[in-house]
Amino acid sequence: MARKCTPRYSWSRVDGMRIRGGRPLSGSVQVSGAKNAALPILCATLLTEGECLLGNVPALHDIDTTAELLRILGRAVDCRPPRVRVGPSTAALVEAPYDLVKKMRASVLVLGPLLARFGRARVSLPGGCQIGARPVDQHLKGLETLGARISLDKGYILAEAERLRGAEVVFDMPTVTGTENLMMAAALAHGQSALINCAREPEVVELARVLNKMGARVSGAGTAVVQVEGVRELGPFDHSIISDRIEAGTYMVAAAATGGEVRIERVPVEHLEAFISKLRAAGVAVEPDGAAACVSRSGQVRSVDVTTAPYPGFPTDMQAQFMVLMCLAGGTARMSETVFENRFMHVPELGRMGAAIEVSGHSAYVRGVGRLQGADVMATDLRASASLVIAGLVAAQGETLVRRVYHLDRGYEHMEQKLRALGADIERVAGLKA
Ligand code: UD1
């Protein structure tokens, strides 16, 4: 019997996070499963008739949304993170409605699997979001190259094909979900596909691992060229998700920014090399210890310039959090954003907390001010929210209220409990005005 996940927020009630900062974090924290790996893997269950089992799935709102979407698509989903069971498919339902897709752009990841398995998909266009236009043209162009007929109808993408045919797909830029959608579609296509200029993120590699467990023939994931030899059908899988590198990085910055000492368990150090090297350049000690890492800072933070880039570069998903650390530094740091065009929404909010940051084009110039003050601030997207929470933990003077933390619930499992266990004075307040 499928059990429904309980939604952790409703749009009519807005929670906030109240933080009294100035305490160095100390102790240990365990990193949860990677959201961005779990989402495509949940969508990959659409490629098979069989029952699939996932472990180490984080309890997040985006997981609930994906479970809901799979139910609408005819799957029985028993969603009890860290375990999720996706039952056999009961019907060939192929429509992903606007109500769900608008909540979570990654819903577009059902397009490739539905089209490949059922020959048809009708998926709402995701639309814009806070951090930029984020089009899906590369997904559509790639599927067309595999032989799909694509049309747009009243805000929906309609994709059809009797059976997809393997082909060479060249992406204009590395796109994470685009690469994942095409890998899933090509897995059931007739013949060989070569996907060129692919995203190389660890989550892409993780999806390839799962597809291969299902019987797919995917090679080269983690490089710019992924080869997929299509097969007739795919089987079920049982898989435990990798740790979330962005959650791990967020706690690393929180430890460093508060001048604390934190042991981070289950940290995928090998997925964070560019980020950790910038952290070290900023004067933060990062000492790997098996599957854990100890992060501490005792001296002054040093300014370091950062440019975000697709993996293995510095992750755009760590830019906002790292900026808080740069606010505490001795000089001025240039932080350039090359992945998304509008990802400095946290800058004015950090300004309310005493930060001195100027944005010019794709760069933010962060003049270190040594300390921040508590303030009433508004979260605008997932990673911006995390940066405001870290800023609140740093601010020794006054109290910080971060509004609209539903963004955080999309991507950080039990964040306030984890931070409280590290000695933070943080509590959730319900029922705030949006
Ligand atoms: C994924 C991650 C997100 C991360 C981002 C970049 C998931 C669920 N989300 O998002 O957390 O911030 O990678 O690391 O894994 N683009 C196009 N056309 C397309 C597709 C992408 O122009 O068809 C552009 C985007 O606007 C952006 C760039 O390509 O400028 C990279 O975006 P992409 O890698 O696709 O991001 P997502 O997969 O949406």
pLDDT, tens digit (0-9, with 9 covering 90-100), for 348-400: 999 999 999 999 999 999 999 999 999 999 988 899 999 999 999 999 899 99
> Who contacts 360 (Cβ-Cβ below 8 Å, separation ≥6)?
none
Q: What is the CATH number of domain 35-240?
A: 3.65.10.10
- Ligand 1 centroid distance, CA of 199 (Å): 9
What ligand 1 atom has the least distance to the C-alpha of 106?
A: 8
Mean pLDDT of the chain: 93
What percentage of residues in the chain have a pLDDT greater than 70?
Answer: 95
Q: How far is Cα 41 from Cα 34, in angstroms, rounded to an integer?
A: 11
Q: Is 287 exposed, middle or buried (0-12, 13-18, 19+ CB in 10 A)?
A: exposed
Q: Where are the domains of the chain?
A: 16-31+243-429, 35-240
Q: What is the mean pLDDT of residues 425-434?
A: 84
Name 249's Cβ contacts closer than 8 Å, sequence gap at least 6. Answer: 272, 275, 315, 317, 318, 321
4-15 confidence digits (pLDDT tens): 444 444 445 578
Beta strands in 46-176 (DSSP E): 52-55, 75-80, 83-89, 95-96, 120-124, 149-153, 156-160, 168-170
Whole-number Å distance between alpha carbons of 244 and 246:
6
Pocket of ligand 1 (CB under 6 A): 36, 39, 105-106, 132, 134-139, 173, 175-178, 199, 203, 316-317, 339-340
Atom of ligand 1 nearest to the CA of 132: 26
Which backbone phi and psi does 368 adopt, to 5 degrees? -60, 135
Nearest CA to ligand 1 atom 31: 175
- Ligand 1 centre distance from Cα of residue 175 (Å): 5
- In 3D, which of 62, 64, 65 has the Cα closest to residue 79? 64
Distance 176 CA to ligand 1 centre (A): 6
Which token pair is 218? 């995917």
Give the length of the chain: 434
For 96-105, 293-302, 349-358, 411-420, which range has the lowest pLDDT when averaged over its residues?
Answer: 96-105
Q: Is 129 a catalytic residue?
A: yes
Alpha helices in 86-128 (DSSP H): 98-101, 111-118
Choose the weakest-confidence range: 5-9, 82-86, 175-179, 358-362: 5-9
Q: How far is the CA of 423 from the centre of ligand 1 (A)?
A: 35
pLDDT band (50, 70, 90) for residue 2: very low
- Cα of 339 to ligand 1 centre, how many Å? 8
| Residue from 35, 177, 184, 247 whose mutation best tests the ligand 1 pocket (most atoms within 8 A of CB) | 177
| Banded pLDDT at 3 (limits 50, 70, 90) | very low
Domains 16-31+243-429 and 35-240 agree in fold: yes
Catalytic residue, from 43, 129, 198, 294: name it: 129
In this prediction, residue 130 carries a pLDDT of 57
Structure-model confidence comparison of residues 342 and 322, the more confident one = 322
Residue 175 pLDDT grade (very low, low, confident, very high; cuts 50, 70, 90) = very high
Residues 6+ apart with CB under 8 A from 167: 145, 146, 147, 191, 193
| Cβ neighbours around 158 below 10 Å, total | 17
For ligand 1, atom 11, the nearest C-alpha belongs to 317
Among 41, 150, 173, say which to mutate for ligand 1: greatest number of ligand atoms within 8 Å of CB.
Answer: 173
What is the residue with the minimal CA distance to atom 39 of ligand 1? 177
* pLDDT given at position 376: 95
Burial class (CB in 10 A: 0-12, 13-18, 19+), 100: middle
Predicted confidence (pLDDT) per residue in 243-278, tens digit = 999 999 999 999 999 999 999 999 999 999 999 999
Q: Which atom of ligand 1 is nearest to the CA of 175?
A: 34
One-letter amino acid of 205 = V
Which residue's C-alpha comes closest to atom 34 of ligand 1? Answer: 175
Q: In angstroms, rounded to a whole number, what is the distance separating the alpha carbons of residues 190 and 416?
A: 48
For 290: left if phi > 0, alpha if psi spans -120 to 50, otherwise beta; the answer is left
Helices 35-44 and 176-187 cross at an angle (nearest 10°) of: 20
φ/ψ bin of 420: left (φ > 0), alpha (ψ from -120 to 50), beta (otherwise): alpha
Nearest-atom index, ligand 1, CA of 341? 30
Gap between the Cα atoms of 384 and 346, Å rounded: 5
Q: Is the CATH code 3.30.70.270 the one for domain 16-31+243-429?
A: no
Atom number of ligand 1 nearest to Cα 199: 34
Please tell me the distance between residue 24's alpha carbon and the centre of ligand 1 in angstroms: 34
What's the N-to-C CA distance of the chain in angstroms? 37
Distance of CA 273 to the CA centre of its chain: 18
**How confident is the model at residue 7, as a pLDDT?**
44
Pocket test for ligand 1, best of 176, 250, 337 (most atoms within 8 A of CB): 176
Selection from 56, 51, 118, 120 nearest residue 83 by Cα: 56
Q: What is the pLDDT of residues 113-138, one digit of tens each?
A: 999 999 999 999 886 555 556 789 99
- How far does the centroid of ligand 1 lie from the alpha carbon of residue 343, in Å? 12
Which ligand 1 atom is nearest residue 35's CA? 8
